[in-house]
Structure 1
Amino acid sequence: MKLGLQIPDFTWPDGSARLGSTLATIAKTADSAGFDSIGVMDHFFQIGHLGPPEHEMLEGYTTLGFLAANTSRARLMTVVTGVHYRHPGLLAKTVTTLDVLSGGRAWLGIGAGWNEEESRGLGVPFPPLGQRFEQLKETLEICLQMWRGDESPYQGQQYKLDRPLNSPQSISRPHPGIMIGGSGEKKTLSLVARFADACNLFPTPDLPHKLEVLRGHCEAVGRNYDEIEKTAIFQFDVGERGEKVDDLVGRLHWLAGMGIETVIGSVKDVWRIEPLEIVGERVIPAVAELTATATSGR
């Protein structure tokens, strides 16, 4: 099992003046501690279960560029971009830029999006859910076309691109990894089977069912189910001095038993740095040998 770090909250005790230096220390510590990836939410306002909208929230791709400069090995991604935030041609260019400047470590994390409050607040168009799913499908097609180097016009229902040129081309070949977030059984998991290198799910007891649905979508389109990395969002709470490590390792065993291969989690009080170091020293080695276990009986 691999562990990824997500940083969803930037409201730290030292305030904005030291936010950059604190984030750099977090990134360097996580990179050296063995986290497989470092990600940030792609939100413009803080989301409800983490705090009020007025709390500090950094723009995702600018932050990933900063993280790239302060790391050397971890994958870099949003968890995840709302498809309606950015035009797909510009999104492909943005992820490509991150990939080139990080030496081939960029992933595209993407989903249908949901936060109407921040979209309305900043004047970002927020179409109905059905339209956002159409945008998601076309965005994935456009990104893959641009990463193939195909400059022919793209004519979709949602987007039209006269010349989808992508220069420089991504270092990652055949393209930066694609992770689709969400657990909708009819649309989201179908898009995972068709386009994605990874799925990102919620850590609920119905994970085996969701993965079985994904397996069915893979069979329907002739995709090898085992090619898709199964990830789940989570929180890593090791306690004040590591007293909760054993409990955390047990919960990660539980996720592996349901078929999860990579856990992408926030670290409680990450700004203290010590919790990150504890995860690196005690948790990552403890779960490194865990292998996801299929529970579908196949």
Structure 2
Amino acid sequence: MTLALPSPCVVVLVGPGASGKSTWAAEHFPAETIVSSDRLRAVVGAGEDDIAASTDAFALLEQIVAVRLARRLTTVIDTLGLDTDRRRAWLALARRHGLPCVAVAFDTPAAECRARNRGRAKRIPADALTAQLRSWRAVRDLLAAEGYDEVLAPQPVRQVAAPFATSPAAAARQQERPTGLRFGLHLSAFAFDGGKAATAARLREIAVAAEEAGFDAIYVMDHFRQIPQVGRAWDDFLESYTTLAYLAACTSRVRLGALVTGITYRNVAHLGKIIATLDVLSGGRAVCGLGLAWFKAEHTAYGWEFPPARSRYALLEDALTLLPLLWGPGSPAFEGKALRVPEATCYPRPLQDHVPIVVGGGGERRTLRLAARHADAANVLGDLDTVRRKASVLHAHCAAAGRDPIDLTHLCTALVGDDDRSVAGLVDRLRPRRQDAASYAAAVHAGTVDDHIGRFRELAEAGVAEVMVRLPDLTSPEPLVRMAKVIAAFRP
């Protein structure tokens, strides 16, 4: 089984000469990540075997390691690794920069090391190799107590974005004991080949492919210009509910909603009418996402008031109460903290007896409490540990409100490749020129199909009922074909 190492990380190779360190490193890591004392002897001396250049070579090695770790780049330190003070200094430096650090122990039999050495064009002097083998026996017993994240034997390894480090075991659990999970496609960008003239056709292709891939829902962002986390303010960006109406005509099965509707952007009663209309025209597939709204610059650009958080919370709480009244029987009057509606009237009413409401935001004191009291689901961001904590807080709020636990959903980005080479190619093509591959891969959760199966299994185990997935390479239906393989692992 191939071991997944988090990227970035520090890998310290430890073992006597001719034990296989450089060969192993070259098989499993890109050349630019390996810092080799032998190669640096050739840089500052007459060649890799220029022992007189060792002091200068190690001084240069230390500088390179320090710079790479400060930049949080994967670094494989290819030396003998027998100097305990040096090893511990590298480990301390890794800890200072928040990088995982593993040692790889090359416990190659002495006879094999000697045989390999005899086959070299330039041999290690016999007495020097004997001294290294003697030192190795003492070092071998020290490694486990030095504080590495792991001490490994040389074995097949691959680097993955940190959230996938435990994915192989989770993917195995999903294969052995499958669990269900709903998937929503999150559309956050509309930059298609052919420009705006091709937008309608490309969007239809993607919507149809999403249904074929097994997605349960399609969501759009409720913004009026692109947000800085995704693109530029002047990028083409479609209005949310007009787009959802178009998607209703393009699809037949997926649920449709805004993730999430900014509570400040529309009259709330009017919003209720919009969602009811979407539900009728889609055949009962509307989802109502609601959130505080956060993008102040967008409000300013459009001339909208951006109230303080306290006022927006009052408006959100009123909306959570008003909308079900609006979609229900009669025309009751409503007066809340921020809203007054003399007649909560909506005809036609939604086809669904109950339009599901999703509250977006992970605020543990107010947002999740409002979701627990009034909504059907809460949508949160964050890593696995954060999601686990949010699930616990949400369930506590539900218990306090006298309700059964509501669904927890999770919004994330996923760049999916068929294999490691495919993933590397996608990362290289999509990453910004000034962002290194490892940090971009981590930011977009770049991984193989199996990596994502494991990651989503862990989210399901943390309490997530639905994942809303943004695919950063979604300019054609092709990424949906790869994502379909992930979804299939969570279907009966």
Does structure 1 residue 151 correspond to structure 2 residue 331? Answer: yes
Does structure 1 residue 202 correspond to structure 2 residue 381? Answer: yes
Where does residue 285 of structure 1 map in the other structure?
488
> How high is the TM-score relative to the length of structure 1?
0.92
Higher RCO (C-alpha 8 Å, min separation 6): 1
Letter in 2 for 1:82: G
CA distance in 2, matches of 1:156, 1:245: 48
Task: Pick from 288, 297, 300 the counterpart of residue 117 of structure 1.
Answer: 297
> How high is the TM-score relative to the length of structure 2?
0.56
CA distance in 1, matches of 2:476, 2:190: 12
Q: Is the 8 A contact 2:214 2:488 kept in 1?
A: no
Does structure 1 residue 86 correspond to structure 2 residue 272? Answer: no
For the residue of structure 2 that corresponds to 1:85, the secondary structure is: coil
Does structure 1 residue 181 correspond to structure 2 residue 360? Answer: yes
Deviation, structure 1 residue 151: 1.1
For the residue of structure 1 that corresponds to 2:469, the secondary structure is: strand
Where does residue 410 of structure 2 map in the other structure?
232
Per-residue deviation, residues 135-174 of structure 1 (Å, max 9, x unmatched): 000011110111122412111231111111110011011x
Letter in 1 for 2:210: A
Q: Is the 8 A contact 2:262 2:292 kept in 1?
A: yes
Q: Is the 8 A contact 1:2 1:288 kept in 2?
A: no
For the residue of structure 2 that corresponds to 1:84, the secondary structure is: coil
CA distance in 1, matches of 2:331, 2:365: 31
Where does residue 437 of structure 2 map in the other structure?
none
CA distance in 2, matches of 1:176, 1:57: 27
Per-residue deviation, residues 117-152 of structure 1 (Å, max 9, x unmatched): 111101122111110000000011110111122412
Task: Out of 28-37 and 243-252, give the one that drifted further.
Answer: 243-252
Task: Out of 194-203 and 36-45, give the one that drifted further.
Answer: 194-203
Deviation, structure 1 residue 32: 2.1
Deviation, structure 1 residue 34: 1.1
Where does residue 455 of structure 2 map in the other structure?
251
Deviation, structure 1 residue 288: 2.9
For the residue of structure 2 that corresponds to 1:261, the secondary structure is: strand
Does structure 1 residue 193 correspond to structure 2 residue 372? Answer: yes
Deviation, structure 1 residue 235: 1.6
Q: Is the 8 A contact 2:417 2:482 kept in 1?
A: no
Where does residue 283 of structure 2 map in the other structure?
103
Deviation, structure 1 residue 236: 2.4
For the residue of structure 1 that corresponds to 2:183, the secondary structure is: strand
Deviation, structure 1 residue 240: 7.2
Task: Pick from 50, 63, 84 the counterpart of residue 230 of structure 2.
Answer: 50
* Length, aligned pairs only: 285
Where does residue 317 of structure 2 map in the other structure?
137
Task: Out of 111-120 and 149-158, give the one that drifted further.
Answer: 149-158
Q: Any residues of structure 2 matched to 1:70-85 within 5 Å, and which?
A: 70-85=250-265
For the residue of structure 2 that corresponds to 1:200, the secondary structure is: strand
CA distance in 1, matches of 2:232, 2:258: 21
List gaps (5 residues or longer) in structure 1. 290-298
- The RMSD of aligned alpha carbons is 1.4
Letter in 2 for 1:286: A
For the residue of structure 2 that corresponds to 1:184, the secondary structure is: coil
Q: Is the 8 A contact 1:203 1:255 kept in 2?
A: no
Letter in 2 for 1:209: R
For the residue of structure 2 that corresponds to 1:25, the secondary structure is: helix
For the residue of structure 1 that corresponds to 2:416, the secondary structure is: coil
List gaps (5 residues or longer) in structure 2. 1-180, 424-447
For the residue of structure 2 that corresponds to 1:238, the secondary structure is: strand
Where does residue 215 of structure 2 map in the other structure?
35
CA distance in 1, matches of 2:331, 2:290: 23
